[in-house]
Structure 1
């Protein structure tokens, strides 16, 4: 089940993260500004957050298999339509609405409740393995999409991705024909005695809103940088394919990084593990701020590796903390509402970076604001160390 969830999440994440490469193709082909090209991504993050409660409630009611089937079909339709798009509103609708809802059905909201039920004592490790699929998909998407676009053009690249998704829909859904119950030995009496939270009860707690703030600030900090990384490197003077390769290689480090920090959270605590990841991300952003010319390859690698190593690395600790605090059959719904903050933050960050560039012709202010957002997120998460009353 964990392997199947990892595979499905990897497919959805790689298709969604490839937009960072398509962004430059849209600028060149349509003449859009960076802010306009970022609009679909920003709308996608808003829709992702707004649809999270619906997806969380849906998986609580109809199960994982049907959600995966729905998500795969929506992603296929969105990719196919994108290949024939010729205006901004079409890209915004297809990517920002259709594909985003589809990817949500192949993401954390669907799989975290399943994994959390199966794993109890090693919940941080299990969630980190699942969430590392996001980083793995992100690492694959940049170089693969860049090669497709360079070789065949962006429309043919979208058609290729649509065909691949269409082939994978049924096999991915078939993995989840049944939902296993947690092993009796895994939960013990502590799990049996745990409170079964409802959304109405959770929303009245201080911890719920601190988690909402953590999700939002972390997404702002991440997406002020991630969507525009390749554009930033190309503007400095680096070759586009080289930049995609460096940043993609750095993103591969997120795979072990996410698993390491998530597993570590089972032993040193969720808060300490997340703070470590925040610190490394900030160092990666600082390296980007120091790059001023295309001969500074070391700084580009340090930025790619530092930022990539901890891309999503806070996620397992934050998500596991949510499952720790609000266990029960309504975890999907509760997690869905909390992750509205993540969608809101990602929308603000990705659009704001493009807007700031259009105003200043530089990403420097956006990267500085990323550091501020990471600091705010770490402070809010550290406040969760006190037991909830």
Structure 2
């Protein structure tokens, strides 16, 4: 057998190893747990309104602060994972989530909920999220980066789908304080098993012989480019569009006359569609381009928001299902394309730090959207203006993403 036939051909890169797939599975599980705990706040919001008499804007404050803290802490977490690795970040994140959940069960004032959820739990969830796992996964899955990141990102959608009906059942059976205690106990049990997935980090695949050298970007270099700020803008407007709707979906459905448990079930089932939706759009981005994949997701999300705007009463079950399915199908579906695009443009050992700074835009947009929807409702008694704002934000995000279509455009801004 000739030497040429015994090794990889030029330009061929071996597929991901078994350990790489196990690492992706562990990241999916960790991200699912963290995301489900954080998304459950949409159900607790109504419990806070009923128990404490807070307005919708006040009840949304903790969530909004959480999004701001999530964005502000992103560079810290991104830099942290570049230095201490995924396992220690998971241990830290799981511990913070456990403390936050147990503390929330004892809260009796707005500032306590804001601090525990908006600061402690948010930083903990960041340590079990994309910022920690994307740099690792993007190194292990090079040719299948879009697919791998989409599988990882689908954990966020899966966690969101599970959180609404599960939390509603816990609150109905145990009360909101008992529900927080149950979630805290679950997190405490899962910390060590989740961290064990990342005990040993596999090495990245070796460079392809004869291939050109890949530039290793630093934050200082990336921040001076036009694509960096376009990505920041995409993250911000996408989050505004999503969170003008997502935090208040159940409250909107209940206001329309639907039973709370039924509404949580419908929207939760719709959210389950995000699992295949995120994977499909992320995998498509490897074949039809990141921008085309994202534009498809933006369009479907807008259809979902329009369906919600057409709901006027509790007899319109079809519209509620259509809203839940269309909005749920693409909730987070742009994430893999955006994140993979970031990894495409700014590869290297500082990807976590770069992604962390760009993610500030996501946190800022989510904070604006989630609080603004409650504020708009308090002023107008309706979510209609908020939903119109969601559509406008999605359009703005799609325009910014489309401007990234020129791969050679990495000139300093």
For this structure pair, what is the TM-score category when the shorter chain's length is used for normalisation? over 0.9
Given the alignment, which residue of 304, 325, 338 partners 1:318? 338
User: Which of the two has higher C-alpha Rg?
Assistant: 2
Instruction: Please show how residues 343-362 of structure 1 align to structure 2 within 5 Å.
Output: 343-362=363-382
Q: Please tell me whether residue 33 in structure 1 is matched to residue 40 in structure 2.
A: no
- 1:188 Cα offset (Å): 2.3
CA deviations on 1:52-89 (whole Å, 9 max, x unpaired) are 00000000000000000000000000000000000000
Going from structure 1 to structure 2, the CA distance change for 1:55 and 1:189 (only over 3 Å counts) comes to: farther
Going from structure 1 to structure 2, the CA distance change for 1:32 and 1:194 (only over 3 Å counts) comes to: same
Given the alignment, which residue of 187, 195, 219 partners 1:199? 219
Q: Secondary structure at the match of 2:224?
A: coil
> CA–CA distance in 1 between the matches of 2:115 and 2:83?
27
Residue in 2 that maps onto 1:164: 186
CA deviations on 1:324-378 (whole Å, 9 max, x unpaired) are 0000000000000000000000000000000000000000000000000000000
Instruction: Please show how residues 1-389 of structure 1 align to structure 2 within 5 Å.
Output: 1-184=23-206, 188-189=208-209, 193-387=213-407, 388-389=409-410
> CA–CA distance in 1 between the matches of 2:153 and 2:209?
28
Q: Secondary structure at the match of 1:153?
A: helix
> CA–CA distance in 2 between the matches of 1:297 and 1:191?
56
- 1:190 Cα offset (Å): 8.0
Extract structure 1 runs of 4+ deviating beyond 6 A. Answer: none
- 1:152 Cα offset (Å): 1.1
> CA–CA distance in 2 between the matches of 1:375 and 1:361?
25
> CA–CA distance in 1 between the matches of 2:85 and 2:197?
12
Going from structure 1 to structure 2, the CA distance change for 1:82 and 1:190 (only over 3 Å counts) comes to: farther
Q: Secondary structure at the match of 2:309?
A: helix
CA deviations on 1:272-319 (whole Å, 9 max, x unpaired) are 000000000000000000000100000000000000000000000000
> CA–CA distance in 2 between the matches of 1:31 and 1:210?
41
Q: Give ranges in structure 2 of 5+ residues lacking alignment.
A: 1-22
Going from structure 1 to structure 2, the CA distance change for 1:105 and 1:22 (only over 3 Å counts) comes to: same
Going from structure 1 to structure 2, the CA distance change for 1:136 and 1:114 (only over 3 Å counts) comes to: same
Q: CA RMSD in A?
A: 0.8
> CA–CA distance in 1 between the matches of 2:380 and 2:175?
30
Going from structure 1 to structure 2, the CA distance change for 1:190 and 1:52 (only over 3 Å counts) comes to: farther
Going from structure 1 to structure 2, the CA distance change for 1:189 and 1:138 (only over 3 Å counts) comes to: farther
- 1:95 Cα offset (Å): 0.0
The count of corresponding residues between Structure 1 and Structure 2 is 387
User: Structure 1-normalised TM-score?
Assistant: 0.99
